[in-house]
Chain A
């Protein structure tokens, strides 16, 4: 097998990326200027005044990140058509992710006045402990997720930076030795994303998300006919893939290994929909949309968008096997390589801006959630309850910048297993937060003890199954269950009975939540009535209920 040449883009690609970066910075400035000054700073900065429209909710809920453009194409290229089954639960994802919890979380967010997910849990269940635990788990999982995203951003920037520019930073002989391109890319990426997120807050993150989603759709529409023409059509591409990778390129469970047995097929049908519902970033958006009509339209838009994006992506990267045979271990680079191979440099720049934008928007959303957890749930609640608006504003800017710098510092020594950590963190958050959220919305008998039990059990089972793999791999470096994508690192998921850890952690979380709630005293009926029964227009928030109780006592 030939070793593919190192990937280097045309300078025009850099111009396109710089334009993209400038537009993102501009959106940050505009977002800061246009948000109303009437409401509190926290609600404006972290929730965009609950004013998101249908297109914004739809395109930011399209669940795209760096993985959409780097990891997913690589899987299709390597394992073939079965990866379509791996991702196809996106056919019901919009309804599941936005439709099941949407209106209730939107309503509870308004009735409780919550600005963050910990706020929401704390007010719904009346438990500061639960609020604090939620904050800590969000910070842990999202920090895990931020580091590989920073790495992805730096890697894309490295590809497009001309190699000669590295000599501005270090001596020519040290460029390769130090991997200077990665560090220069990391600095540029960090400076951009921290600047527009810190300045523009939630709305800047949302608008950049919308902008990159549109660029992405344009990119896929351009790439699709080019790939079909170059490969000689889908049937020819499938036959070529089967010749190169084996007959299972055209069938399940996939080429090369037992990539997608029936147990994992079911697991991943649950994974993309259920883990999508349980993400704090999703729930924050569900607290931020304007009204029910907005939610309904956003479900329709995202359904159409997913069909436009994901189905062609499957076709394009099946065809890529014909166009770029023998990528071997460089299959992670199939997306940028295909774009550079098929499109002229200016068009390639436009298309390559999409993964960069996807990473940027993911990072900005995560940074704000971690920062909001720190400002609202630690600084304001524990350190300085009487903080003025100005102090909260300064703390928010500082926290956002600090989160970005910490993640960038950790990315100086980037993890090798990028996609694995993203899956670990995303499914971990679903294991921790989905059952408490479902109970909060639909089960009036749910108690804070039950919610804590659900959160802790889900997290522990999830961590245990990843720890099991790590221990077994350390004891025997050749350990491989033979399922799913091949794991070359010492970190990965242990598929108990062939199912993904998410399935087991959700079962544990649900069971512990039900048992914990039924074994504990029923929740305060006044709080439950405020959140579950018809209320007069002037009904108070649960927080006011607490105040009255405090004053009476």
Chain B
């Protein structure tokens, strides 16, 4: 007997979920490490006004640490939602069946 085919919505959602999680993990790792490296003051490396190196008034570590990634992630999100994610048919609504089941006292465990 052939194995049943997995639902296409499930298949596409899994694939898209893996891509999204990878983007999240990359963004998290980059932002946390870049900000720490460029803009965190420590007892061994105290930072002062001369370390701001402003870019259009914004401290350099802020600009490269989370503003540029924010812009990049925004563009990637638009590309992902616009061109990579698939329009799946989500099927018909079975709310009436469930309602009927509740009225007839259906339950299972």
Q: Closest approach, in angstroms, between the C-beta of B90 and any C-beta of chain A?
A: 5
Q: Which one of B8, B20, B36, B78 contacts A534 once the chains associate, using CB atoms below 8 Å? A: B8
Which of A252, A253, A265 is the most central at the interface, judged by chain B CB atoms within 10 Å of its CB?
A252
Q: Is the CB of A103 within 8 A of B59?
A: no
Q: Is the CB of A85 within 8 A of B31?
A: yes
Q: Considering the chains assembled together, what is the distance between the CA atoms of A381 and B40 in angstroms?
A: 55
Q: Considering the chains assembled together, what is the distance between the CA atoms of A119 and B102 in angstroms?
A: 11
Mark out the residues of chain A between 93 and 108 whose CB falls within 8 Å of any chain B CB in the assembled complex. Answer: 94-96, 99-104, 106-107
Q: Closest approach, in angstroms, between the C-beta of B61 and any C-beta of chain A?
A: 7
Q: Is the CB of B28 within 8 A of A110?
A: no
Contacts of B109 in A (CB 8 A): 126-129, 448
Knowing A119-B98, A251-B47, the reply to whether A99 touches B16 (Cβ < 8 A) is: yes
Contacts of B100 in A (CB 8 A): 543, 547
Task: Answer whether residue B95 sits at the interface, using C-beta atoms and an 8 A cutoff.
Answer: yes
Contacts of A119 in B (CB 8 A): 98
Task: Answer whether residue A114 sits at the interface, using C-beta atoms and an 8 A cutoff.
Answer: yes
Task: Answer whether residue A235 sits at the interface, using C-beta atoms and an 8 A cutoff.
Answer: yes
Which of B10, B56, B96, B98 is the most central at the interface, judged by chain A CB atoms within 10 Å of its CB?
B98
Q: Which one of A81, A113, A273 contacts B94 once the chains associate, using CB atoms below 8 Å? A: A113
Residue of B nearest to A242 (CB): B49
Q: Is the CB of A95 within 8 A of B94?
A: no
Q: Considering the chains assembled together, what is the distance between the CA atoms of A387 and B44 in angstroms?
A: 70
Q: Is the CB of B91 within 8 A of A107?
A: yes
Q: Is the CB of B23 within 8 A of A307?
A: no
Q: Which one of A85, A247, A524, A531 contacts B41 once the chains associate, using CB atoms below 8 Å? A: A247
Q: Is the CB of A91 within 8 A of B74?
A: yes
Interface flags for B47-77 (1: CB within 8 Å of A; 0: not) read: 1110110101111011001110111011001
Q: Is the CB of A234 within 8 A of B66?
A: no
Q: Considering the chains assembled together, what is the distance between the CA atoms of A305 and B4 in angstroms?
A: 42
Q: Is the CB of B97 within 8 A of A293?
A: no
Interface flags for A376-410 (1: CB within 8 Å of B; 0: not) read: 00001100011000000000000000000000000
Q: Considering the chains assembled together, what is the distance between the CA atoms of A123 and B108 in angstroms?
A: 9
Q: Considering the chains assembled together, what is the distance between the CA atoms of A141 and B66 in angstroms?
A: 32
Q: Is the CB of A92 within 8 A of B87?
A: no
Q: Is the CB of A303 within 8 A of B78?
A: yes
Q: Considering the chains assembled together, what is the distance between the CA atoms of A187 and B17 in angstroms?
A: 45
Q: Considering the chains assembled together, what is the distance between the CA atoms of A119 and B94 in angstroms?
A: 12
Knowing A115-B95, A537-B92, the reply to whether A296 touches B87 (Cβ < 8 A) is: yes
Q: Is the CB of B36 within 8 A of A235?
A: no
Q: Which one of B35, B90, B91, B92 contacts A85 once the chains associate, using CB atoms below 8 Å? A: B35
Q: What number of A-B contacts does a CB cutoff of 8 Å give?
A: 263
Knowing A43-B95, A92-B23, A238-B52, the reply to whether A300 touches B66 (Cβ < 8 A) is: no
Q: Is the CB of B90 within 8 A of A296?
A: no
Contacts of A99 in B (CB 8 A): 16-17, 20, 80-81, 85
Mark out the residues of chain A between 409 and 423 whose CB falls within 8 Å of any chain B CB in the assembled complex. Answer: none
Main secondary structure of the interface of B (DSSP, over half): helix
Task: Answer whether residue A224 sits at the interface, using C-beta atoms and an 8 A cutoff.
Answer: no
Task: Answer whether residue A31 sits at the interface, using C-beta atoms and an 8 A cutoff.
Answer: no
Q: Is the CB of A250 within 8 A of B88?
A: no
Q: Considering the chains assembled together, what is the distance between the CA atoms of A549 and B108 in angstroms?
A: 9
Contacts of A303 in B (CB 8 A): 74, 77-78, 81
Interface flags for A11-55 (1: CB within 8 Å of B; 0: not) read: 000000000000000000000000000011011000000100000
Task: Answer whether residue A484 sits at the interface, using C-beta atoms and an 8 A cutoff.
Answer: no
Contacts of B9 in A (CB 8 A): 103-104, 107
Q: Is the CB of A265 within 8 A of B59?
A: no
Residue of A nearest to B107 (CB): A128
Contacts of A252 in B (CB 8 A): 35-36, 39-41, 61
Q: Considering the chains assembled together, what is the distance between the CA atoms of A286 and B88 in angstroms?
A: 14
Q: Which one of B21, B57, B86 contacts A235 once the chains associate, using CB atoms below 8 Å? A: B57
Q: Considering the chains assembled together, what is the distance between the CA atoms of A543 and B97 in angstroms?
A: 7
Q: Closest approach, in angstroms, between the C-beta of B65 and any C-beta of chain A?
A: 7
Mark out the residues of chain A between 74 and 101 whose CB falls within 8 Å of any chain B CB in the assembled complex. Answer: 81-82, 84-85, 88-92, 94-96, 99-101
Q: Closest approach, in angstroms, between the C-beta of B76 and any C-beta of chain A?
A: 8
Q: Is the CB of A543 within 8 A of B106?
A: yes
Knowing A91-B73, A543-B97, A549-B108, the reply to whether A291 touches B90 (Cβ < 8 A) is: yes
Contacts of B46 in A (CB 8 A): 247
Contacts of B105 in A (CB 8 A): 385
Task: Answer whether residue A292 sits at the interface, using C-beta atoms and an 8 A cutoff.
Answer: yes
Q: Which one of B48, B95, B101 contacts A40 once the chains associate, using CB atoms below 8 Å? A: B95
Binding site for B on A (CB under 8 A): 39-40, 42-43, 50, 81-82, 84-85, 88-92, 94-96, 99-104, 106-107, 110-115, 119, 123, 126-129, 233-236, 238-239, 242, 247-248, 250-253, 262, 265-266, 269-270, 273, 291-293, 295-297, 299-300, 303-304, 307, 311, 380-381, 385-386, 441-442, 448, 524, 529, 531-535, 537, 540-541, 543-544, 546-547, 549-550
A-B CB contact pairs (8 Å), 23 listed: A43-B95, A85-B31, A85-B32, A89-B28, A92-B24, A94-B81, A95-B24, A95-B80, A99-B16, A99-B80, A101-B13, A126-B109, A238-B57, A242-B48, A262-B32, A269-B32, A303-B77, A533-B7, A534-B6, A534-B7, A540-B94, A543-B102, A544-B94
Q: 6 other contacts beyond A112-B94, A534-B7, A543-B98, with CB at 8 A cut-off? A: A42-B99, A81-B39, A247-B47, A248-B41, A537-B92, A547-B106
